[in-house]
Amino acid sequence: MIKIVRLEAMVVALPMLDGFKTGFGNIARKQQIIVKLVTDQGVLGYGESSTLEEPVYNHETTASCLYVLEDVLAPRIVGKSFDTIEEFIAAYSDVIGNPAARAGVESAFWHLLAQEKNTSLKELFGGTQTNIKVGEGVGIVDSIPELLDKVQSHLAFGFSRIKVKIKPGWDIEPLTAIRQRWPDVPIMADGNSTYNLDGHADLLKSFEKFELEMLEQPLAADNFLDHAKLQAMTSTIISLDESIESFNDARTAIALQACRSMNIKIGRIGSIVEAMKIHDYAAEHNVGVWCGGMLETGVGRAFNLALASKPNYIHAADMSPYQLYFKDDITEPGLTIATDGSIEVPDEPGLGFAINQDKLKKYTVKTIIVN
Ligand code: OSB
Ligand code: MG
């Protein structure tokens, strides 16, 4: 039995090295929300709500997420006791949407469970892989030489594959330049919903020549039908990101053959339990999944890493040591990439990483507390 007596949500602003430009705009500043649940025994469970400041990737924002945590979720959780993750989720099963807020409290409760059972998140989630292959996105930049420099520094970091952000007008040229210089490196491209089938069908089909590992979310999030048309006309694996907000979205995408792969982001789906259902369903239908990223702190990465050790995660993860994008992080030890381009999944009980309380305090710009 775990009794929750307090919820805290901290907005953490980690200093970034550079911005990260995508089809939906530039991420110049990153704020993440760290959720802390405190039990009557004084045990602390940490989770992360992964959102952007503005509703440009999905509908959620830092502000909307904080509101839902404080005014909607906390009153349903604080002062209550739960035996299982199912009981915990049932306490707010009437709350729809707002996936990052829900994922923040759910992940914090998983952390409490891991401590109660003295097991790793990996074991709790049924993880089987010891190491996860990783790559990370190269944002949209101003020139091809700048792009090639960025790719070079990503490869020097030790990544297994390169993900390139594309949009109409920034696709053929950068992909051609990367392919010419690195004929054999696995590459994928992420369109972040900036294309449409009426205008770009031939262009998207022509990406076959780059032999991409996958083409991620070229079309609008709600456009399952055109993703299905596109997947039928191209040999490139279409992988969905923004489109998959729930188990039912995954069922729809698979039934329509709108993709041959999908990524899993806990904060976009709203629940690790639901993410695991998607993982299992995709496996039964021969659709491989991979771990997406939203520039999380080390807390969010700990959950991503553990979940990505499940068997149907068959493509490289969007994951890196914090040093690629940030000047600092709030967890220790940092992640390291092995010579085979992978990161090891911790087996230690709990998160597998320690939270540096001084740094958490230093980078927290706003806190809400519900007792
Ligand atoms: O579309 O995958 C995305 C970052 C924030 C929001 C959405 C996305 C991203 C990334 C992160 O692409 C890239 C990465 O972690 O490699
Ligand atoms: Mg994406």
Does the Cβ of 137 fall within 6 Å of ligand 1?
yes
pLDDT at 291: 98
pLDDT at 28: 81
pLDDT at 369: 98
Atom number in ligand 1 closest to CA 265? 2
Does the Cβ of 341 fall within 6 Å of ligand 1?
no
Atom number in ligand 1 closest to CA 190? 1
Mean pLDDT by 10 residues, the chain (371 residues): 98 92 86 97 98 95 98 98 98 98 98 98 98 94 96 91 97 98 96 97 98 98 98 98 98 98 98 98 98 96 98 96 94 94 96 98 98 95
| Smallest-distance ligand from the CA of 217 | 2
Does the Cβ of 296 fall within 6 Å of ligand 1?
no
pLDDT at 60: 97
pLDDT at 19: 85
Residue 340 Cα to ligand 1 midpoint, Å, equals 23
Written in H, E and C, the secondary structure of the chain is CEEEEEEEEEEEEECECCCEEECCEEECCEEEEEEEEEECCCCEEEEEECCCCCCCCCCCCHHHHHHHHHHHHHHHHCCCEECCHHHHHHCCCCCCCCHHHHHHHHHHHHHHHHHHHCCEHHHHHCCCCCEEEEEEEECCCCCHHHHHHHHHHHHHHCCCEEEEECECCECHHHHHHHHHHCCCCCEEEECCCCCCHHHHHHHHHHHHHHCCCEEECCCCCCCHHHHHHHHHHCCCCEEECCCCCCHHHHHHHHHCCCCCEEEECHHHHCCHHHHHHHHHHHHHCCCEEEECCCCCCHHHHHHHHHHCCCCCECCCEECCCHHHCECCCCEECCCCCCCCCEEECCCCCECCCEECHHHHHHHEEEEEEEC
Residues designated as active site: 165, 265
Nearest Cα residue to atom 6 of ligand 1: 294
pLDDT at 29: 78
190, 269, 289, 319, best to mutate for ligand 1 pocket (most atoms within 8 Å of CB):
190
pLDDT at 289: 98
Residue 99 Cα to ligand 1 midpoint, Å, equals 16
